Structure 1
Amino acid sequence: MSTHIKEVDLDTKKSLRIWSVSDYCRQHQIGEAGERRMRQLFGHYASAGELRYNVNKNPRWRV
C-alpha cells in the first residue's frame, strides 16, 4: 500500500541544517585526516546530509 505525501507536510529544516565542518568532525570524533578531506570537498560549511554521507569511519569492532 502506498500513500501520497504532500510537499507541504515534509519537515525539511533538519536536513537543510548547515554545520561547520570542524564542529561536526569534533562532535562525531572524526580525525584530522577526515576533517581535512571534508574541508577539501565542501569548504568550511556543509549541510548535515553531505557531511553524514561522506564520512569514512571504520567500525569499532574492526580495530
Structure 2
Amino acid sequence: MRHIEIGNLDPEQAKRVWEVTEYCRKAGVSRREEQRLIKILGRYASAHELQMNIVRPNNRSRC
C-alpha cells in the first residue's frame, strides 16, 4: 500500500465510485442482477465498471 498525501490529489482525475446497491436502485436493476454485480465487483465500483457488467434483458423483438 502506498501513502498518498491528500494535498497532492487532483480532483479533476478523481473517479466517481458508487455503492453497487445504490447504483442498482437508481438504474432500476433487478435484485438478482444486483447480487451478481456485488459478487463480481464487490460493494463499490465505478459507473463504467457497473455499466459494462450489467446484463439487461432483451426487450426488443424483430418482426
TM-score (norm 2): 0.68
Name the structure 1 match of 2:56. Answer: 57
RMSD between aligned residues: 1.6
Q: Sequence identity of aligned pairs in percent?
A: 32
CA drift of 1:59 comes to 4.0
Q: Deviations over 1:19-58 (max 9, x none)?
A: 0000000000001110000000111100111001111112
- Does residue 1:27 correspond to 2:26, yes or no? yes
Whole-Å Cα distance in 1 between the matches of residues 13 and 52 of structure 2? 17
Tell me the distance in 1 between the aligned counterparts of 2:49 and 2:32. 17
**Structure-1 separation of matches of 2:26 and 2:13:** 22
The answer for unaligned runs of 5 or more in structure 1 is: 1-10
Q: 1:60/1:42 Cα in 2 relative to 1: closer, same or farther (>3 Å)?
A: same
Which amino acid counterpart does residue 43 of structure 1 have in structure 2? Answer: G
TM, length-normalised to structure 1: 0.68
Matching residue of 2:17: 18
Q: Letter of the 1:48 partner, please give it.
A: A
